[in-house]
Amino acid sequence: MSAYETYFSTVPFLAMIVSAVAVPLIVAFGRKPNLREAVTLIAAVIKFILVLTLLPDALAGRAAEWVLFEIAEGIDFSLRADPFGVFFALIASGLWILTSCYSIGYMRGHAEKKQTRYFASFALSLSATIGIAFSANLLTFIVFYELLTLATYPLVVHSESKKAIAAGRQYLAYALSAGLLMVAGMAWVYMATGTLEFTPGGILEEGMVSASGMKFLFILFLIGVGVKSGIMPLHSWLPNAMVAPTPVSALLHAVAVVKSGAFGIVRVVGFVFGPEVMATYGLNIILAVASGATIILASLIALQQTNLKRRLAYSTVGHLSYIALGASLLTTEGFIGGMMHISTHATMKITLFFCAGAIFVHTHKSDIRELDGIGRAMPWTLGAFTIGSLGLVGLPPVNGFISKWFLVSGSIEAQMWPLVVVLLLSGLLNAAYFFPIVYRAFFREGEKRADGRSVWEGVGEASPWMVVPLTLTGAMSVFFCFFPDIPFRFFTIATRVTQDIMGGGLPL
Amino acid sequence: MPEWLEYVHDRYAYWAIVFLMIIGLYGMLFKNNLHKKVVGMIIFQNSMILLFVTAAFKWDATVPVRDAEIDVNVVGNYLNPLPHTLMLTAIVVGVAIVGVAFALLIKIYDNYGTIEEDELLEKLQSPAPEDDDSEDSFPSKGGSV
Amino acid sequence: MNHIPVLIPMVLLLGSMFAVFGRRSQENYLPFLIALGAMGLSAVFSIIGMVYSVTEGPIHYHLGGWQPPMGIELILDPLAAFFCLMITLVATVVLLHGEERVRIEVGDRIPAYYSSALMLVGGLTGIVLTGDLFNLYVFLEISSLASYALLATGRKPAAVSAFRYLILGTIGASLYLLGIGFLFMEVGSLNMSELAVMIPEVPVTAGLSAAAVLIVIGIGLKMALFPLHGWLPDAYTFASSPATTLVAPIGTKVAAYVLIRVFLFLFALDFMKEGIHLTTIVGWMGAAGVIWGSVMAITQRDMKRMLAYSSVAQVGYIALGIGLANPLGLIGAVLHAFAHCFMKACLFMVQTNFLHRLGHYDISRLDHRTRVAMPWTCAALVVASLSMIGLPPTIGFFSKWYLVLGCVEEGAWIFLAVLLLSTLLNAVYFFRVLEKVYLRSDGKAYDEGDIEADQATPSCEVGARMLYPTLVLAGSLLVLGFANAWIVAHFLQPMFPVW
């Protein structure tokens, strides 16, 4: 069914399973933190290397595939590393290495409890994420999708405070309902088409479902994947889930979980419905309106937040909808922009979360108003923060500029002028909620203690376990602006996938 | 004879069975005394048995025991033996159930001293204190379980 | 080889006769060993029969050499073999698990207990295998008798609830008998395969419809189909834990199996669907049961009662699948019966383990120390709960998947909505327990003392004989989840050829 030439390979499976295998080891070494964290790091590195080996073939249009067994009548449980999957898997597994280092610093610096459960759940979530990336069909996708929900639940309730438990309940309620609606939609697609394979250009064709049925079906899917990607009004679990430890927020709530929602949107639009059906039934309008509204509203709400992590969370909600918006344009540039934003937002937002975490662990400050003058105490951290903010606003020389450029030119190409306005306006709003933080950090004097010295005096950078990763991600954000294609060829993959979806004839 | 009366008359045996059945059901569902419920149950079961036996009945036929005088190949000469044999089994089953019912009744009487349903409900609704009332059920270290 | 169909129930029933003898003492292990041996043997026969029926085709066995319609016929087809295997396997595991508790809760009536247990399982396998409607009635009553006796063990009110079950169960069985009486009058046979040929040829009369309705009501009472479920929650709650663990998973499922056979093989499906709309009615009863059972389960504090209400809901799923009356729905129904058998057994085992070690199974009194004290039992609880909720990759997800497919094919959107809603309700009542077991409920954040407190909580995990059966069943939920396509292809699809 696939448009890609496939060959048998166990690598996608191995890449998926490696962190799941690490889980029992992590649990077994629960009383020996050094060994436990070594396992995490080793698993992360192996995972990344495995994913990396899939890259050349994916670029050549060959997809490694392993059909494990028939999971339900007529549907295989199979993993296929098609270019889009490799793209997402690269981002998730690459950033996992950095997050693991960061986690070590954070958890130790913060003397967190139940670290074993934390690292184990984290590893399991990564397995689920890679599984989502490599799923060859919807059923496999949903298996990992639900697994991701379950694996991240212990992370959300980590502190076991009342607030965390409430957030966990809300998260489960949202994510499970979404999964259910997706199961219903999936059953419908299966009965209509007889297949669930992801196929570039879509598996649904015109006339397979009635026009109103098609809209309903799309909404089922939109809710299904939209909850994880925080499309309004399904977003409210995300800010509340910020009670989780910051590394969780960083990797899962900026990269793995929410991006698998965004990834799902692109999968649904490009590989299940297909651009033609989307356009014929006007489904892209639904998506465009939902995502456009989310971008603006989320930015406005972000402006009102004074808790740094909550502000970042609302910013995430907004930026995830950039991806959905890119998909809804149904133009080449739109798809490229959307996909690029998966990678660019990942590096930028993870930087910001890393910074927020470093500040919190090191100074126990989480309110924006308390951060006056902190830039002088923690120059590297706040420097990285500045880079991330610039990128999210969409300014060069940070990679956010690239994706935004494509999104804007895609909307112009599609002649969707309201969306152009949305994108530009949201850039301004981004600036409005990020720059004050930067301004406070660098250009305002910190509070004075009773003895007249600044509160920041004597406060240095956080532990190198944390500062090095965040500096690296910040540097990566800049690097990818100039060389989006080096070394992981993100841009080439995005172009390639877009061509497959659009069925266009642009040669590579 | 009017038509409806003929209808009733032709099936008078069945009406009797239906009557029995209703008595049985009434006893099982609405009697307060559990013992009377069992009696209702017996009536109910036996009405079923009668139904089968009645259904096997034929005019001018004899019992299904082979007789040299009577031609076995004519269907109308003998009653249908199958329902009779089936009902033999059903009677055995019924007796077994009644036995279990009585055993339960005895146990109920032992436990509560009554087999009147309303009194039982009263006693069930205010249950005896729980067997285990300790707030903290975790054994302390080294303690026996 | 051809005697397999009769050997499966006969071994159990013979074992039942022998087990009843012996000393009435807590130290009498003989009945247990007899029961275990008989169940194990029967399971082995089921496996042989399963392999044989899949490779060579169904075995038709005529008891005593009497040909049907006079004699009784036992039919071992792949589906029946599969069900027999499920019943005997689960019963064996439950028996192993319950041994210790039986000695505590049943006391010196051990011989009677094991005799009843064997009779129950023997009766249930008989129901599955028989090809004769009256014989089915006899087996139904054999198994019911045993379950009345088993459910009367345990706490004081158990006798009352078992008596109520007896009254309602007898009404159900009698109505079933009345139904086959009507059928016999209309058609003139009680052999299932003969009936399947003959029923479509006779004119549809009021008698035939009445027969169908009565049979469905009778079986509905036995399987606790809403609103005929009144006996179930009390009976399961008050009975001794090992008895509930034995009866709950397999009892209602076999009744559901009978319903499927009656619908599918006896009466033409079209007659049930178009003629008297019986499938639709059963479907709606199922849907109502799903919602009612789930809502009631949420309000329970007593874990056993919660599981009992959840059984009502799960039976509703099966009825809903039958009500869809298309191959996918029926596959979903059978697979769910199968899945539920394993997960409910596992959950009742977990509840028994809690009772064994903590002395209670009151949800509101469980707390996060349970996790530390009984890590493996809690892990089993997690897996079984996920399966009950219907999350992949457990078997519970896949049975629901077929039901959902069936709903979509039939265009039964309300049933679909019921399925999805009930999944959420299931999530509510199972995560409530999981939260209790795994997380602190006092709302305090962790502090320094907690790690030491955790380490100081002694491990009071149950012994291996109770633990391993629990874990085996929990593991089987995952294995079955992965193997579901194989099960469907080999055992279920041949039975529902209208794919």
Q: Is the CB of residue C283 less than 8 Å from the CB of residue C156?
A: no
Neighbours of C337 (CB within 10 A): 29
Long-range contacts of the stretch C271-275 (C-beta < 8 A, 24+): C271/C199, C271/C200, C271/C204, C271/C212, C272/C212, C272/C325, C273/C325, C275/C204, C275/C209
At residue A505, the pLDDT reads 38
Cα angle at A74 between A68 and A78, to 5 degrees?
25
B72 vs C34: which has the higher pLDDT? C34
Residues C124-162 as b/e (b if ≥16 CB within 10 A, e otherwise) read bbbbbbbbbbbbbbbbbbbbbbbbbbbbbbbbbbbbbbb
What percent of chain C shows pLDDT beyond 70?
94
Please say if the pLDDT value at position B14 is more than 90: no
Q: Is residue C446 part of a domain?
A: yes
Q: Count CA atoms closer than 13 A to A111's CA, side-chain side.
A: 8
CA distance A355 to A96: 16
B34 has a chain C CB within 8 A of its CB: yes
At residue B145, the pLDDT reads 33
Residues of A with Cβ-Cβ distance to C451 under 8 angstroms: 113
Please say if the pLDDT value at position C121 is more than 90: yes
DSSP A313-339: HHHHHHHHHHHHHHHHH-SHHHHHHHH
Q: Residue C497: is the preceding peptide bond cis (ω within 30°)? A: no
At residue C448, the pLDDT reads 52
CA distance B4 to A344: 87
At residue C274, the pLDDT reads 67
For domain B3-64+72-125, the CATH class is mainly alpha
| Spatial CA neighbour of B38 closest among B102, B96, B113 | B102
Express each pLDDT in C253-300 by its tens digit. 888 888 888 877 777 666 666 667 788 888 899 999 999 999 999 888
**Element of type H or E holding C62:** strand C59-62
Q: Is residue C412 part of a domain?
A: yes
At residue C452, the pLDDT reads 59
Model confidence at C29, pLDDT cuts 50, 70, 90, reads confident
**Smallest CA–CA separation between A96 and chain C, in Å?**
25
Boundaries of every domain in chain A: 154-502
Express each pLDDT in A331-372 by its tens digit. 888 888 888 888 888 888 888 888 888 888 878 778 888 877
Among B34, B93, B105, pick the best mutation site for testing chain C contact (most C Cβ within 10 A).
Answer: B93
At residue C208, the pLDDT reads 82
Whether residues A72 and C402 touch (CB distance < 8 A) is answered with: yes
Please say if the pLDDT value at position C252 is more than 90: no
Q: Which residue in the block uniquely carries the two structure tokens 């979980």?
A: A257
Express each pLDDT in C222-234 by its tens digit. 888 888 888 888 8
Task: Look up residue C64 and give its DSSP letter.
Answer: G
Over chain C, what is the mean pLDDT?
Answer: 84
Q: Is residue C283 part of a domain?
A: no
Q: Is the CB of residue C165 less than 8 Å from the CB of residue C182?
A: no
Chains B and A touch, contact meaning at least 3 pairs of CB atoms under 8 angstroms apart: no
Among C401, C447, C495, C499, pick the best mutation site for testing chain A contact (most A Cβ within 10 A).
Answer: C401
Tokens at A219, concatenated = 């909404």
Task: Look up residue C132 and give its DSSP letter.
Answer: B
Q: Is residue C18 part of a domain?
A: no
At residue B41, the pLDDT reads 92
Express each pLDDT in A216-263 by its tens digit. 888 888 888 888 888 888 888 888 888 878 778 777 777 788 888 888
Chains within contact range of chain C (3+ C-beta pairs < 8 Å):
A, B
| Spatial CA neighbour of C166 closest among A126, B104, A341, A480 | B104
Over chain A, what is the mean pLDDT?
Answer: 82
Please say if the pLDDT value at position C359 is more than 50: yes
Write the residue in B83, B132, B145 that is nearest to C357 by C-beta: B145
Whether residues C443 and A162 touch (CB distance < 8 A) is answered with: yes
Torsion of CA C383, C387, C392, C398, to 10 degrees: 150
C29 vs C344: which has the higher pLDDT? C344
Express each pLDDT in C83-118 by its tens digit. 888 899 999 999 988 888 888 888 778 888 888 999
Q: Count CA atoms closer than 13 A to A378's CA, side-chain side.
A: 34
The angle that helices A283-304 and A417-443 make with each other, rounded to 10 degrees, is: 20
Write the residue in C389, C393, C416 that is nearest to A184 by C-beta: C416
Please say if the pLDDT value at position B138 is more than 60: no
Write the residue in A160, A165, A177 that is nearest to C424 by C-beta: A177
CA distance C216 to C366: 41
The residue range of the domain holding C401 is 305-499
What percent of chain C shows pLDDT beyond 90?
16
Residues of A with Cβ-Cβ distance to C404 under 8 angstroms: 183-184, 187
Low-confidence ranges of chain A (pLDDT < 50): 1-2, 504-508
C45 vs A482: which has the higher pLDDT? C45
Please say if the pLDDT value at position B133 is more than 50: no
Tokens at C465, concatenated = 């004989």
What domain count does chain C have?
1
At residue C275, the pLDDT reads 67
Q: Is residue C448 part of a domain?
A: yes
- pTM beyond 0.95, yes or no: no
B125 has a chain C CB within 8 A of its CB: no
